A and B are shown apart, each in its own frame.
Chain A
Amino acid sequence: MFDLINMNPMLVMILEVLLICVKVVVVSLILFMLPLPLTYMERKVAGHIQVRLGPFRTGPHGILQPFADMIKLMFKEDIVPAKADKWLFKIAPVIAMVPVFAVYATVPFGESITIPYINKEITMYISDMNVGILYVLAIAGISVYGIILGGWASNSKYALFGGLRSSAQMISYELALSFACVGVVMLSNSLSLVDIVKSQSNWRWNILYQPVGFFIFLIAGIAEINRIPFDMPEDEGTLGAGYHAEYSAMRFAFFMLTEYVAMVTISTLAVLLFFGGWDGPGFLPGIVWFVIKVVAFIYLFMWARFTYPRYRFDQLMTIGWKILLPLSLLNILITGLVII
């Protein structure tokens, strides 16, 4: 048995740094693996909503389909258009991908657990920043550069339109998204995600106090992660495939990975901000409740994708600026009045 208290302080510090590294690696690996189950889930949901079976041939009930896709994407030829801005074209998927992973530096998955044999308490988050929610929103906003630059660097009109639409859409909906979070911050008196979840313990979930805020957050969130009904940047009906029309193989896979991780991020944020995080009936550990809620939101997003038609771009702007933004400002005002 180890006795951590009597150990050399230098060694303790090294162990702490190692622990953070291990957490970062574990979280990143989980996020990297997420598209495998999520693509399978998305196809099955799509299939059953459209009264068909979805993938069925690779493995029992098509369960090996994501692996087949992965192998296909890895071995496809990586094409760079002759007239593309080579350097930006190659780096754009990485610019899109890094921020969505960096967001998870401050996302808490639970409070803390004690490892049985060494009696060491381990927190279920990499770091608890006192500006957590601001950090998440700010870093997630950088991801849009990947989309814009990918669209511009491809030197193709469809991709460029995708990039342009994406930049306009992101700016419009980022405002509503952030303002929707302000109501929650006012209720919990803190910007730290851990404190926000703690303030909702014992079923005092923010959804009960901030239904309008949640509604705005959900719509703006769907727009922010470019999913139907707001998937203007990759509108395949009019733009081919939008910003990633010229991408193939692994660079395309990076964009896909970004989209799926962003969807998980928005689901996680919705759970943390409005649905009490890991709070739930006691018979299961907190992390299980947390995962259940996040998966429920992911299912909701997939459900919406195969239920609603796509909006027109001018409708998108109208919803963002003329409905969601005034509504979110009003929400902040009313929350402030009620708190006083």
Chain B
Amino acid sequence: MAETVFFFIFAIIAVGSAVAVVTLRNPVHSVISLMVCFLQMAALFVLLRSPFLAAVQIFVYVGAVLVLFLFVIMMLDIRQASMERFVSGGHFWVIALLVVLIAEMIFIVSRSKFTNMAVATGSRLDGSVKEMGTALFTKYLLPFEVISLILLVALLGAIVLGKKELR
């Protein structure tokens, strides 16, 4: 009962702040809304009994990624940036594409197995750090390593792009 109430509080704030991210004119305000959204997601992880994921969510996204966003945005010319709208009014095709994408997403989600998740699957981890580590390094070892390799390649790519003029 109490959990449902809390879920709705967090979920409503999360969706509201996510909408604010794309509608607010000022990029710095958008980043703040995104921070609120991430904090609510961390709270949802706590409700799902995985405090580890919640802490990591705050640690990585709020503590590092968003600070980098702010660092870059603070160097922009805010007045010019705030004049440009995310979806400008005159573009009919943008709206149409958005509607199609939203319809597609709703269709896919409604047909997937995520809609009837009332019964939790048997092998669900209870969120303890030990179990998660064991699962990552035994059962999911290959995907884990592949992901870290992809991230490393992306990192190198970003550095090469950034240093283009040095050659």
Contact = CB atoms under 8 A, between A and B. Distances in A.
Contact of B129 (A163, A171, A191): A191
B23 interface: no
Interface in A144-194: 144-145, 148-149, 152, 160, 163-164, 167-168, 170-171, 174, 178, 191
Contacts of A148: 67, 70-71, 74
A141 interface: yes
B152 to A, nearest CB: 15
Dominant secondary structure of chain B at its interface with chain A: helix
Q: Which of the four size classes fits the interface of chain B?
A: 20 to 34
B63 interface: yes
Contacts of A163: 74
A152 B28 contact: yes
Interface stretch (A44-52, A131-139, A228-236, A327-335): A131-139
A218 B53 CA distance: 27
Interface residues of A, number: 27
B52 A138 contact: no
B32 A130 contact: no
A164 B56 CA distance: 24
Contacts of A145: 32, 35, 67, 70
A292 B129 CA distance: 33
B63 A174 contact: yes
Contacts of A191: 129
A296 B64 CA distance: 31
B59 interface: yes
Contacts of B129: 130-131, 191
A295 interface: no
Nearest to B35: A145
B59 A138 contact: yes
Contact of A142 (B26, B52, B63): B63
A174 B35 contact: no
Contacts of A64: none
Interface in B67-111: 67-68, 70-71, 74-75
Nearest to B56: A134
Contact of B63 (A129, A138, A160, A164): A138
A130 B126 CA distance: 12
Contacts of B35: 145
Contacts of B29: 88
B55 interface: yes
Nearest to B65: A171
Interface of A: 85, 88, 129-131, 134-135, 137-139, 141-142, 144-145, 148-149, 152, 160, 163-164, 167-168, 170-171, 174, 178, 191
